[in-house]
Amino acid sequence: MRQMTVAAMAAIAVLAVSAGLGGCASEGSSSSSAAPAGGTSSSAAASCSNSAIQGQLFAKGQLTVATDKPVYPPWFADNKPANGQGYESAVAYAVAAQLGFSKSQVTWAYEPFDSSYAPGTKKFDFDINEISYSPARAQVVTFSDSYYDVQQALVALKDSPIVAKHSPADLKGYVYGDQVGTTSLTFINSQIQPDKTPKVFETLNDVKQALQTKQIAALVTDTPTAEFITTEIPHSVVVAQFPSTGEHYGLLFAKGNPLVSCVNKALATLKSNGTLAKLTAQYLKDFTSIPTIKP
């Protein structure tokens, strides 16, 4: 859902120049290209034991997981990341368990979203906060493999003309609004390409208020968040989803953190044993009934 601010992009550009970085992969590239997955040999298995990874941790004996404040459903519940409720909280604890950590050994840290993917050292082991992988971000931080594949969706009031008329050509004629720095705002500009410049707001709450007061015709956000927004804004509806662009969320690490290989192995296990599918069914409803806008 989220993208980087202008300041963060500038910081990345400076770092890229000073480090002599070359070109990056396409937007559709897998996050695993930025962070190789853990191996399957017996030596690799041993290297991912709890005792073996202690030297890679921010705080020995604890897995430090970061996220923003506040946090929202369906990703978290009651603004309490440590309660294990909500998709991202549950995923974090499931990964921790695969690495040999009990729930009491998981420490939650506050990390503002925009600083999570900025260059530099990190005061956490990984950050989980609906952070979309991108080649630009992967130049200065490391991402795990995907723990959730994302589609963008369109939210509007039920009486808006956009509910009935939202072909790609129709979409260009509406006024949109979104939160500054998000992939959703980037999606509006690059994919919808509206005739009028979208209105930009500091927070998602500001965007929701703009929709309620009809300052904008619609907003774009990831589908699970879109569904949640319709429970908060009276007479609002998820109009449709957009076709997948390959966007996905990854756990975010300091650049080159070797712990990512063991976390990728943990995620692979959680996928193969059905845990991620179970958590998706528990916290993120089936969105196949939402129509997809045809190109």
Integer CA distances (angstroms), 166 to 130, 162, 169, 198, 209, in order: 27, 5, 8, 17, 22
Structure confidence by residue, pLDDT tens digits, 71-99 = 989 999 999 999 999 999 999 999 999 99
Question: What SS3 state is found at 72?
Answer: coil
| Distance, CA of 142 to CA of 126 (rounded, Å) | 9
| Distance, CA of 236 to CA of 157 (rounded, Å) | 4
Sheet strands side by side (includes 106-110): 106-110, 63-67, 126-127, 248-254, 141-149
All domains of the chain, ordered by start, with CATH? 36-149+246-283 (3.40.190.10), 152-241 (3.40.190.10)
Average pLDDT of the residues of the chain? 86
Structure confidence by residue, pLDDT tens digits, 234-272 = 999 999 999 999 999 999 999 999 999 999 999 999 999
Q: At what angle are helices 259-272 and 87-98 packed, to 10 degrees?
A: 110
Structure-block tokens of residue 64: 């430090």
Is a pLDDT exceeding 50 seen at residue 7? no
- What is the C-alpha radius of gyration for the chain, rounded to an integer number of angstroms? 19
Is a pLDDT exceeding 90 seen at residue 44? no
**Cβ–Cβ under 8 Å, residues 99 and 54:** no
The residue-averaged pLDDT of 38-45 equals 43
Query: Among residues 222, 255, 223, which one has the least CA distance to residue 137?
Result: 255
Terminus-to-terminus CA distance in the chain, angstroms? 21
